[in-house]
Structure 1
């Protein structure tokens, strides 16, 4: 389970990674000359530099989400029971394994429009990275300076949807998530008028009454509604650091608290990490569940150059800043 949020007009993109286990995640920069290798097409020897969270295997970054130096973002989110990958490659199309999508799209494209054009010819093949590696059932949010779209792999091929909401979670498929927002069209950040019974004295007893009915549970549809409401109504300050902080407030509002969601295997599904990628400044911000403070990794010209992956392990210890009384 996960939640991804995109502000293409602000160049801020990010997600909560909700999972009951760790997968060797770390912040990874793939420089321009680190070759991307594919099963069914020629390698991409030179490409845009990427930064995001990934596990690394066989000198390959397996990204959960990333952004490139041009400002394009892509995140894969769990889509069980609905994601469909074809058993075999087909001729005359671009056959890709699911894990190859982020490297190819972010390595090749600078805008959402370019990415959508490239993906229109893709056939996703049920091919894991290597024997023993899971084949995750995913759908994707792709966003850049020119907007955002959702891509879902179904039995009849890839489906593309304009993402005017700027939010993606998990099941059900995106059209149902989008349609469900109609059930909440009466909500507002403002105190509502008494339309229940105008002649009845119903005094306002506190702030926030306009949001009564906004879901608060951790299910995918509820997180979609709550994230959409907050994203559409969030007020951003002018200062860039404060904008990043505001972005994390949105993610924290739909995060999973350890112990509140138990999987069928008896494990805690929790927000392993939350991230915000500032594509204008080239900075990847994150916090993990146990390290609540914000950490930052910058994509610089130096780190974008060369062939070697640049890796930063995620902080996983609680950290505090102690202020000294005056």
Structure 2
């Protein structure tokens, strides 16, 4: 389970929580412009836009969970079990791309979300893993830049593309349901509520925050979508980079999972293994992990981007605490 959001302040920020029961070997990975991407059904991509994101590295191949390229285009894959449909054969007029290849295939060649939307509309997410030991994960994708965002869902019948005016994506059900479901919460407000229960009664609020009574508090994907949308769309941010990054993580904190609060059918405990925030203009990737709440940053443009070798940054997972005495 995961939550992906965008947030516009002076710059545009993208990021997500990744909720799992365990680590998947993730680390921050920078792919420079001349790293050679190989694809199962498409021509190699030897020269492309550089990118930074969280990935596990298999056989020197970055399997990105999310990333931003040097042009400020963001793409994240989120769990979509039961709905994701990967055809096992080619489709007429479509481009075969295996799902784990989609993020580098799109970010390597597209500058804008508009370009990515056009390409993804012609993609056939073919159900062939890139290796036998790497089974396909059921995914849908959140794609965004400074001008807006959209969702790509591989459903039965083909890839569906939806404009995303909310700038939020979680998991099941489909994105259409999440948008419709927001209508149930149109009465919520960050302001003091008015008495609409009965005008003949003298009803008044007895504490702050009562305009938000009814905002979901559980960790289901439908509730996280509503909660993230409410906090993001009502967000008031201070000036400067630090204020924007801090505000972004506060929004993600509202939908993060505490160990023990979500137990899977197999008896395992879901946690927010990491949360990230990426400045699309500067290419700085900020993250914190479940074990370490201090923010760590890695800068895309602090590296030599014309090389051909991956640059990997293992996560700082031990809690860092600053003492003042």
TM-score, normalised with respect to structure 2: 0.98
Cα shift at 1:264: 0.9
Q: Which position in structure 2 is the counterpart of 1:142?
A: 143
Cα shift at 1:92: 4.2
Residues in 1 aligned to 2:276 and 2:295: alpha-carbon distance in whole angstroms: 9
Residues in 1 aligned to 2:221 and 2:67: alpha-carbon distance in whole angstroms: 22
Q: Which position in structure 2 is the counterpart of 1:15?
A: 16
The answer on whether the counterparts of 1:85 and 1:126 sit within 8 Å (CA) in structure 2 is: yes
Superimposed CA distance per residue, residues 212-241 of structure 1 (whole angstroms, 9 cap, x where no aligned partner): 000000000000000000111000112111
Cα shift at 1:317: 1.1
Residues in 2 aligned to 1:294 and 1:158: alpha-carbon distance in whole angstroms: 36
Cα shift at 1:199: 2.3
Q: Which position in structure 1 is the counterpart of 2:2?
A: 2
CA RMSD of aligned residues (A): 1.1
Q: Please show how residues 23-34 of structure 1 align to structure 2 within 5 Å.
A: 23-34=24-35
Q: Which position in structure 2 is the counterpart of 1:201?
A: 202
Q: Which position in structure 1 is the counterpart of 2:159?
A: 158
The answer on whether the counterparts of 2:258 and 2:271 sit within 8 Å (CA) in structure 1 is: yes
Q: Secondary structure at the match of 2:245?
A: helix
Unaligned runs of 5+ in 1: none
Cα shift at 1:91: 5.2
Q: Does 1:252 align with 2:270?
A: no
Residues in 1 aligned to 2:133 and 2:59: alpha-carbon distance in whole angstroms: 13
Q: Please show how residues 226-241 of structure 1 align to structure 2 within 5 Å.
A: 226-241=227-242
Q: Which position in structure 2 is the counterpart of 1:264?
A: 265
Superimposed CA distance per residue, residues 280-304 of structure 1 (whole angstroms, 9 cap, x where no aligned partner): 2210000000001000000126332
4+ residue segments displaced more than 3 Å: none
In structure 2, the CA distance between the partners of 1:157 and 1:305, relative to structure 1 (3 Å rule), is: same
TM-score, normalised with respect to structure 1: 0.97
Residues in 2 aligned to 1:269 and 1:316: alpha-carbon distance in whole angstroms: 17
Residues in 1 aligned to 2:50 and 2:58: alpha-carbon distance in whole angstroms: 18
Cα shift at 1:202: 2.1
Q: Which position in structure 2 is the counterpart of 1:41?
A: 42
